[in-house]
Structure 1
Amino acid sequence: MPGFPFDDNRSSGGLVAKGSHGDNAAPLSITEISGLLKRTVEDRFGHVKLRGELSGVKRAASGHLYCALKDEKAVIDGVMWRGSTQRLSFLPEDGIEVVASGKLTTYPGRSKYQIVIDQMEIAGEGALLALLEKTRKRLEAEGLFAAERKRRLPFIPQVIGVVTSPTGAVIRDILHRLADRFPSHVLVWPVMVQGQGAAEQVAEAVRGFGALPEDGKIPRPDLLIVARGGGSIEDLWSFNEEIVIRAIAESSIPVISAVGHETDTTLADFVADQRAPTPTAAAEIAVPVLRDLAATIGEFALRQKKCALRPVDLGRERLEARAGRLPKPESLLQQPVQRLDDLGERLRRGLADRAAQARSQLQSDPARLAVHMLERPVQEGRLRLEALGGRLGTGFRQAVQHGNGRLDRAGAGLRPALIRARIERSRGRLDSFARVLPQLDPEKPLERGFARVLSVDGQTITSQAQAVRETLLRLKFHDAEMEVATGSASVRKPARAPSASPPEQGDLF
C-alpha cells in the first residue's frame, strides 16, 4: 500500500511479534524485570549509610515512617518500619540533616528505588543544635516557656521528689546538701537519664509524682527536682525531648530543673519553674538554711519584743519627765498649812476679844440683869393665859392663878359635855374601824377554804408574774402552811363550768 511505512521485508519488526533468526531469548514480563532489578540492587547495595536532609516526613497510622533524603542535586525515597521507629532517640522532622543506615531496594509498584532505613541519627552536633533550636521555637510559640506560667516555689517543702538515676553522684549530692541545710523528707523516682527510653521514663516519673493523692500512703511531694550530671549534648538530649518538656509543663507540682553543669542548657530548663546550675544548687534553692531561719525568727521575736516594749519605755520616759515638773507634796501643803495656822490664830484672838467685849458690856450695864426684867416676860405670859382661861371656864383660870392646880379640880370648869362629845365621836370612828378591820384581815378568808400565797420572805403574791419569779412558794391555809416549788407546777386558768352549779376551784398553779 503506497505511503504506508510498514514493510514485511524489513528487519525492524512487524505487526505481529516474531522471533528473529538465531534469537533464543524470550521477552521478560514487567514483574520479571522488576524482580531482576530488585535483586540486583539489593545484592549490590546490601547495606549503605546515607547522609541527607529529611523531607516529606510522614508517619502512617500503622506506625511506619515514610520520608525522602535529599541533597543539593538528588532525592531518594526512604521507609522505616514501625519496629525501627520505636528505637529512634529523636523525633524526625523536615529539614533535619541525618545519617540513615539500611539497604537499598526497589518498589516495583512505582518503578522507584528507595532505602529501607534500619537506624537514623542526626548528622553531627550542628544538626543536633539546629533541631534543638527548631524545637525550642515551636514550643515557645505555644507559650510553654512563658514567664507567667512559672509558679512560686514553696518556702519550706515538707516532701521533695527527685527524678534522677539512683546510682549516680547526683542523688548523693542532693541528699547531702539537704541534710546540711534543712533535713527534709525525700522521695526518689529512679529513671535512666540518657539513652533509649530515658525521656519516656523521666516524663512518666514527673506525671507519676503529680498523680499521687494528697492523703495517700505515699506522701505527695510539694516540690520536684529533675536532675542529671553534666555531659555532651547527646548525653543530655533526653531532657530536650518534647515528651519531657510537656510533662514538666503539665505538672501540678513546682519543678526545679538541675540538668548538667552551669554551661549546659536544655529545654527542661526553659519550661521548669526554676533552673538550677547544678544539682547541688537545686538542693540549696529548694530549702532554706535551718540555722539562718532560726536566727531570723529569733531576730523577729526580738524586734517584736522591742516594738511591744517601745511604747512602755516612751510612756515611762514621758511620765518621769512630767513627774519631774510637778511640785513636791510638802510644797503644795505649805501655804494651806500656813493659812490654817493664821486663821486658827485669828479665830482664837477673835473669840477672846468677843468674850472680853461681852464681859465688858455685861459689867458696864448691870441693870439689864435685874430681877424685874426677868419676871416681866413671865407676867405677860400669865396674863395671856388668864385671858384664854376666861373663855374655857373659871376652873381653868383658878388653876392658872394657883400655878400648881390639879387637872381633876379644873375639870368642872372645862365643860365636860364638850369633852364627852368629842370622845363619843372618836369612839364612833373607832367602832366603825373595828367593824371593817375583820373584813380586811387576810387571815379571815382562810377559814372559808381559801389559801394565801406567800414568798419565802413572807410577802403576799398577788399575780402570776410574781409567782413565776419565785423558785419556792408558801401556801398558808387556816390550819397549816406548806411549801411548793414553782418548777414542778404548771399554770392554767380555771375552766368555766357550763352548768349553773358553782365552778370548782382549779389548781392555783
Structure 2
Amino acid sequence: MPPASSYDPDEGGLVARSRTGDNAEPLSITEISARLKRAVEDQFGYIRLRGELSGVKRAASGHLYCSLKDEKAVIDGVMWRGNAGRLGFVPEDGIEVVATGKLTTYAGRSKYQIVMETMDIAGEGALLALLEKTRIRLEAEGLFAAERKQPLPFLPKTIAVVTSPTGAVIRDILHRLADRFPSHVLVWPVLVQGKGSAEQVASAIRGFSALPDTLPKPDVLIAARGGGSIEDLWGFNEEVVVRAIADCPIPVISAVGHETDTTLADFAADRRAPTPTAAAEMAVPVRAELAAAVEDYAHRQKRAITRPITLGKERLEARAQRLPRLEALLQPPTQRLDDLSDRLQRGLKDRAGKAREALQADAARLSAPLLLSKIGRARDRLDTVRLAPALATNRLARDAERLSSLSRVFRSLDPEALLDRGFVLVRDKAGNILKTRDAAAKEAALAIKFADGILDVMPAGAAVPSPEKAKPVRKSRPDAGQTRQDDLFD
C-alpha cells in the first residue's frame, strides 16, 4: 500500500495519497504564514506611504489602529503606544498623511499591514483641510458665536499674558503697555510651538481663571505669539486651546502671528489683534508716555532680584555635579566586606583544621597510664595539705542556708501546695494544665486533682471518653547521679 500524502482527484478515494515523484510535505497554516511574513518584511523593510486615514481607533492600551487608503486600495496600519503619544496632531478620519514604518503581516486575519513609527500630515493642503474641518465642527457647537463674546474692560489693573518668556513677543507687549498705560502684568511662560505647546497654552489659560482670591485677578488675558508658517501656529488651532479660550471667564485677546495669519483661537477669543503689539494697544487706553527712567529702573530691579538666584543656582548645579555618586561611595566598603567575608571563611576553615590537629595530638596524651600517674601526683599533693575544719563547716553552712532559702521559694511556687487550701488542678488527657474555661470545654475528658486524689470528669455536652485513667504527673527530681560536690578550696 503506497504512503498517503496528498489527494489525487483522478484516482478518487477519500484518503490523500502521494503521487509519483512527489516528495513535498504539506505545510501547516502557521508555517505558510511565517514564510509570508519573512518574505514581506525582507522585501520591503521600512517604507513611506501616503494616504487618507480611515477607521481611526485608539485602544484602551494607547495603541492606534487605522487604515490608509487612496482611490483604489486600502492597507491596515497600527502605531504602538509610545509612537502614538508623540504625534503632533490628533488623527481623524479623512486626514491625508504620510506614514513611515515597516510592512509586515498579521497571521490572525491573513492580512498585511504597516507598523507605523511616524505619521505627518501630507502637505499644507491637507493641513488646511483638517483646519477647516475642525472649524466647522467647533462652530456648530457654538464656540464662535457672537453672543459668547465679552467686552474688554476700559481700564484693566492686571493683565495676564500667555506666551514664550524668551521671544520678542513678550518684550513688545510689555514695552507697549509701559508706553501707553502702566499696568500689572502676569506672565505665564509656555511653549508656543511644537509638541506639548497646545496643552501648555490651555493649562495657562485655565490656570489664570482659577487663581485664588489672595492673588490679583487678571482683568484681561492676552494669548500671543509671533508669526510663522501654518505648522508653527498649529498649536493655537488645537481643540484644547479653543475650548480653554471659550470657557475662560476673563476677556481674551488673541494675538497670534501677523495680520494675515488666522487661527481657530482668533475665532474663539473675545477680540482678535493683528499683532501682539496691537493686542497691548487694545488692552489699555492711551496715556502720556512714561519716562524712560521708569522702565530702566524696573528692568534693573528685575535683574538685581534674579541675579543672586541665578548665580546661586549655577553654583548649586556646579557643586552638585562634583558630588560623588552613591555607587562610588558604597563601592569601597562593599569590596572590603566581600574581602573580609572571604578571609573569615578561610580563617574559620584554618582554625577548624588546626583545632582538629591539636585534638588529635592531645588524644595521644590522654592514655590511661598517664592519667593514673597524674591522679597519683594530685593525691600526694592533697595529702600534704592540712585542711582546717572551719573551711569545710563554713562552706557547708552557707550552702545549707542557700538550700533552705531555695526550698522556701520552691514551696511558695509549687502549685500543688495550694491543694490543701481548697484549690484544684485541671489537666487534659496528656497531663497539660488547662488555664481557661474555653480550653477545658474543648476536651473530651478532664482530670481534676484534689488534695486527696484525682477525679476524672467529662465536660457537659462532650462525648463519653474511653475508660482511661489519667496518668499521675510526676514531679521532676534532680538525678542523684547528677549531683556535684563542690571543691572545698573554691
Q: Percent identity?
A: 79
Q: State the Cα distance separating 1:29 from its structure 2 match.
A: 0.7
* 1:58 aligned residue: 57
- What are the within-5 Å matches in structure 2 for residues 115-194 of structure 1? 115-194=114-193
Deviations 1:146-184 (A, max 9, x none): 000010111111111111111100000000000000011
* 2:346 aligned residue: none
Deviations 1:372-404 (A, max 9, x none): xxxxxxxxxxxxxxxxxxxxxxxxxxxxxxxxx
* 1:282 aligned residue: 279
User: Is the partner of 1:98 in helix, strand or coil?
Assistant: strand
Q: State the Cα distance separating 1:23 from its structure 2 match.
A: 3.2
Measured in 1, the distance between the counterparts of 2:20 and 2:216 equals 93
User: Is the partner of 1:288 in helix, strand or coil?
Assistant: coil
Correspondence 1:271 to 2:282? no
Measured in 1, the distance between the counterparts of 2:12 and 2:173 equals 87
- What are the within-5 Å matches in structure 2 for residues 86-485 of structure 1? 86-214=85-213, 216=214, 218-291=215-288
The change in CA–CA distance for 1:79 and 1:288 in structure 2 (over 3 A counts) is same
Q: CA RMSD in A?
A: 1.9
Measured in 2, the distance between the counterparts of 1:259 and 1:9 equals 76
Q: Which has the larger radius of gyration?
A: 1
User: Is the partner of 1:290 in helix, strand or coil?
Assistant: coil
Q: Does 143-152 or 245-254 show the bigger shift?
A: 245-254
Letter in 2 for 1:279: P
User: Is the partner of 1:79 in helix, strand or coil?
Assistant: strand
The change in CA–CA distance for 1:130 and 1:9 in structure 2 (over 3 A counts) is closer
Measured in 2, the distance between the counterparts of 1:12 and 1:178 equals 98
Letter in 2 for 1:36: R
User: Is the partner of 1:52 in helix, strand or coil?
Assistant: strand
Q: State the Cα distance separating 1:58 from its structure 2 match.
A: 1.7
Deviations 1:122-163 (A, max 9, x none): 111111111100100000000000000010111111111111
The change in CA–CA distance for 1:9 and 1:42 in structure 2 (over 3 A counts) is closer
User: Is the partner of 2:288 in helix, strand or coil?
Assistant: helix
Measured in 1, the distance between the counterparts of 2:67 and 2:256 equals 35
**How many residues are aligned here?**
284
Q: State the Cα distance separating 1:14 from its structure 2 match.
A: 5.0
Deviations 1:48-89 (A, max 9, x none): 110011111122222222111111111111112222221111
Measured in 1, the distance between the counterparts of 2:259 and 2:279 equals 12
Measured in 2, the distance between the counterparts of 1:94 and 1:180 equals 49
Letter in 2 for 1:213: P
Q: State the Cα distance separating 1:11 from its structure 2 match.
A: 6.2
Measured in 1, the distance between the counterparts of 2:217 and 2:64 equals 40
Letter in 2 for 1:62: S
User: Is the partner of 2:143 in helix, strand or coil?
Assistant: coil
* 2:26 aligned residue: 27
* TM-score, length-scaled by structure 2: 0.56
Letter in 1 for 2:279: A
Letter in 1 for 2:220: L
Q: State the Cα distance separating 1:250 from its structure 2 match.
A: 1.0
The change in CA–CA distance for 1:148 and 1:9 in structure 2 (over 3 A counts) is closer
Letter in 1 for 2:212: P
* 2:84 aligned residue: 85
User: CA contact under 8 A between 2:78 and 2:115: conserved in structure 1?
Assistant: yes
User: CA contact under 8 A between 2:8 and 2:16: conserved in structure 1?
Assistant: no
Letter in 2 for 1:113: Y
Unaligned runs of 5+ in 2: 1-6, 290-490
Q: State the Cα distance separating 1:185 from its structure 2 match.
A: 1.0
Measured in 2, the distance between the counterparts of 1:117 and 1:12 equals 50
Q: State the Cα distance separating 1:15 from its structure 2 match.
A: 2.6
User: CA contact under 8 A between 2:54 and 2:93: conserved in structure 1?
Assistant: yes
Measured in 2, the distance between the counterparts of 1:10 and 1:177 equals 92
* TM-score, length-scaled by structure 1: 0.54
